[in-house]
Amino acid sequence: MNSKADAQRMEKIVSLCKRRGFIFQSSEIYGGLNGAWDYGPLGVELKRNLKNYWWRVMVHERDDVVGMDGSILMNRAVWKASGHEDTFTDPMVDSLLTGKRFRADQIEPQKGTVYYYSGAFSVTEDYWPALQEMGTASPLFKVVTEDLPIPSPSKEPIRFKHEEPLDPLASEIVKSFDAPAYELLKNKIYPVVFLVLIPAGKPPESARKIAREFYQKRGLTRPVLIGERKEAINTDSPLSRLFDPESGALVSKPQSFNLMFKTFVGAAEDESSLTYLRPETAQAIFVQFKNVLEVSRKKLPFGIAQIGKAFRNEINPRNFTFRSREFEQMELEYFCRAEQGMELLEYWKEERLEFYENIGIPRSRLHVLTVPDAERAFYSKGTYDIEYDFPFGRQELEGVAYRTDYDLSQHQKASGKSLEYFDEETKQKFIPHVVEPSAGVDRTVLALICEAYSEDEAPDEKGKMETRIVLRFHPRMAPIKCAVFPLLKNKEPLVAKAKEIVDLLRPHMNVFYDESGAIGRRYRRQDEIGTPFGITVDFETLGEKDPGLLHTVTLRDRDSMKQERLAIKDLADILNSRIA
């Protein structure tokens, strides 16, 4: 989080999402399932509006893109050929104290005081007689009875490599500290190195407590720490990313962790039936490239679009729905000639930025990151990340990547089936290249909610100013477009007219009817869920005050709170033009 205010804002957003039915924790009544979320009645509408608009812009409004809907389960050979089986991994580390798992590359560099221990030995009951015999003057007696560590004679800067977790000096340190004690303990020394990072200024005892816990977990009953030394480090130290950010304990060596969820197809549960839940929708497009090309009769450049679920066993799902284990993607694979690749990469980056602006995310809050060569997939000739300023920091919404001909070539090689394109004009056959804008549905929904959330001041029933929570969704995205209210619920002609208006508008948009509570309260409830328009049927509508106003209603704008008087017969056209 950037600041306390951002953290508070995020908390309010999460709480509003639950309170008003946008997003719930999956399996909540059983304690939830980490990384999985359910969309409630309003969340599902918002998500649909987003997906429908993406489909409209990316497929329906273009001549050069067709859609498809691939299966989530595919032949395992797809994931072997695409490289996912071998390389779709994240580096993962475990806290050596709590076992909690972290993505190594997501551990921020930390600073503070590092305490180093060469190992420990355990003081068990059977040592006591010998220890007492040595007498209170023995240095060992003091460290055991006062729970102190044996200091290290070394003043060298601390170096640590996971490849060398044993410290041969552990025995030497005990020997030079207390030779008679060494004789007693020499076969009991556990020379496994442990490091702990504590914030500067904290007493050494807090580091020792963590270190003792580490050795206890490895079977040492009452550990005496050997070879304690300390060093202050800054975030540029090579040690700075080696510690569990929660406990300060050393983490394990990074290991590759494949993010794909395994599953078995059919009755047998062995290697022969193994496959994966797809980690991206794109591969279905590549393996169906030939079929779609034949049926659509498209010429290069052309694209195949798809929206669907993807699954990744993320090590640390976090930031609400931002990093989930089950999520949806909106992907376009835009096939082209090799020489068009870089130009189309630029083209799609601009198209996609415009898309976000058209759903209410201003350009000023979007950022384009040119992914550096070293971080790009080896087959990609250029990748942009479109990022958004979430309250928890600037994070990726979408990747736009020029993937060359890598995917189709891999599948052609592995399947033995031609995935070539025949150019009628030049009579040449070749494997097309591809540019891929790949957006996350859930991340964009979250960005829409974060962008829309605002608080302002509005008068209550008695004219007193109160805080108003408003979701300022673009009308195109708003879950409910229009709320219809009879001024009073016990006046039958008002109710009947309001219901008539609901029936009139329902074929055009998602409408909500509400007759309960004071009108101001009803407006507030709609403001909080982002309904852009409110229609009130009052006595003027019935022609009771001014016959000129018969069959007119007030239309209230959520953001300005201004009201205009409109004829009922014009409502559908006016509202349609404002939400299109």
Q: Which residues bind ligand GAP (CB under 6 A)?
A: 280, 282, 312, 314, 323-324, 327, 329, 331, 396-399, 436, 438-440, 442-443
Tell the smallest beta-carbon distance from residue 358 to ligand GAP (Å).
Answer: 18
> 124: how many CB neighbours lie within 10 A of its CB?
11
Tell the smallest beta-carbon distance from residue 283 to ligand GAP (Å).
Answer: 8
Query: Is 212 or 312 the residue whose CB approaches ligand GAP more closely?
Result: 312
The dihedral through the CA atoms of 497, 502, 507, 508 has a sign that is positive
The Cα–Cα gap between 528 and 534 comes to 13
Query: Is 105 or 546 the residue whose CB approaches ligand GAP more closely?
Result: 105
Tell the smallest beta-carbon distance from residue 481 to ligand GAP (Å).
Answer: 26
Q: Which CA distances in Å does 27 have to 30, 33, 34, 39, 438?
A: 6, 6, 10, 12, 29
Tell the smallest beta-carbon distance from residue 60 to ligand GAP (Å).
Answer: 22
Which residues are CB-neighbours of 463 under 8 A, at least 6 positions away?
Answer: none
The Cα–Cα gap between 437 and 334 comes to 8
The Cα–Cα gap between 333 and 399 comes to 12
Here the tokens at position 72 are 């989530």
Tell the smallest beta-carbon distance from residue 15 to ligand GAP (Å).
Answer: 21
Tell the smallest beta-carbon distance from residue 280 to ligand GAP (Å).
Answer: 4
**Residue 550, class by beta-carbon neighbours within 10 Å (0-12 exposed, 13-18 middle, 19+ buried)?**
middle
Angle (CA) 263-269-271 rounded to 5° is: 80
Tell the smallest beta-carbon distance from residue 453 to ligand GAP (Å).
Answer: 20
Query: Is 215 or 311 the residue whose CB approaches ligand GAP more closely?
Result: 311
Query: Is 36 or 550 the residue whose CB approaches ligand GAP more closely?
Result: 36
Tell the smallest beta-carbon distance from residue 383 to ligand GAP (Å).
Answer: 9
Residue closest to ligand GAP (Cβ): 440
Query: Is 244 or 387 the residue whose CB approaches ligand GAP more closely?
Result: 387
Tell the smallest beta-carbon distance from residue 312 to ligand GAP (Å).
Answer: 5
Secondary structure (3-state) at 77: helix
Query: Is 208 or 325 the residue whose CB approaches ligand GAP more closely?
Result: 325
The Cα–Cα gap between 249 and 206 comes to 11
Query: Is 403 or 556 the residue whose CB approaches ligand GAP more closely?
Result: 403
Closest CA to 349 of 279, 283, 439, 445: 439
Which residues are CB-neighbours of 205 under 8 A, at least 6 positions away?
Answer: none
Name the CA dihedral angle for 182, 188, 189, 190, rounded to a multiple of 10 degrees. 180
Query: Is 280 or 514 the residue whose CB approaches ligand GAP more closely?
Result: 280
Query: Is 35 or 479 the residue whose CB approaches ligand GAP more closely?
Result: 35
What amino acid occupies position 549?
Answer: L
